Amino acid sequence: MPEQERMNMHTKIEILKGDITKVTVDAIVNAANTSLLGGGGVDGAIHRAGGPAILADCRKIIARQGGCKTGEAVITTAGNLSAKFVIHTVGPVWNGGEKNEAQKLTACYTNALQLAVDNACKTIAFPCISTGVYGYPFHEAAKIAVDAVMEFIAHSDQMDKVVFVCFDEENFLIYQHAMATKRESTWD
């Protein structure tokens, strides 16, 4: 059977520009750090909007397993956010590309999606993980994000919708291009 006939045609992918804390989905993904204690950027925005219940859950995870390794993901309440859960994943710090950054960034998307499926989430929103403080080049990060999500949904029809939420215009345009390129190469 040709590859495309085996692929899941069900999951919708959307690209939005704006603040991820305002998006209505079952799970919002946070670009956290290994301490899980919060920080700036999207991490700060999610903790501010969701309130102290998120950090309280993070502290329970810290007590249990001592934080979260790069590329891995953990799940907490979403507190006051409209989402049911926040999935915290830790992106790699960009170090020139020779330190397995690509594999680690791919793992962020795959592990977050698997955790969402395991918790019966049907919709999920991702920020552009690692592209802020962690310095990942935008084009490379967008391609990895799109490839990882497309690979996951090709073999799983559990999610209804995956949303990429870009905070800035530049990433928004880069994601649209990455998605269009991926669709062309997948279906041609």
> For residue 1, how many other CB atoms are within 10 A of its CB?
5
- Sign of the alpha-carbon dihedral angle for 176, 124, 168, 146: negative
Least distance in angstroms from the C-beta of 149 to ligand AR6: 16
By the rule CB under 6 A, 131 interacts with ligand AR6: yes
By the rule CB under 6 A, 127 interacts with ligand AR6: yes
By the rule CB under 6 A, 39 interacts with ligand AR6: yes
Q: Which amino acid is at 174?
A: I
Among the listed ranges 1-9, 99-107, 132-140, 155-163, the one in contact with ligand AR6 (CB under 6 A) is 132-140
Least distance in angstroms from the C-beta of 103 to ligand AR6: 16
Which pairing describes strands 12-17 and 161-166: parallel, antiparallel, or unpaired?
Answer: parallel
Q: Find the binder of ligand AR6 among 85, 109, 126, 134 (CB under 6 A).
A: 134
Range list of H helices, the chain: 3-6, 41-50, 52-65, 101-118, 138-154, 169-187
43 a catalytic residue: yes
**What is the Cα–Cα distance from 81 to 65, expressed in whole angstroms?**
25
**What is the Cα–Cα distance from 82 to 49, expressed in whole angstroms?**
10
Q: Find the binder of ligand AR6 among 11, 25, 28, 43 (CB under 6 A).
A: 43
Least distance in angstroms from the C-beta of 180 to ligand AR6: 20
By the rule CB under 6 A, 124 interacts with ligand AR6: no
What is the per-residue binding string for ligand AR6 in 3-32, x denoting contact by CB under 6 A?
----------------xxx---------xx
By the rule CB under 6 A, 137 interacts with ligand AR6: no
**What is the Cα–Cα distance from 86 to 96, expressed in whole angstroms?**
29
Q: Please list the active-site residues.
A: 43
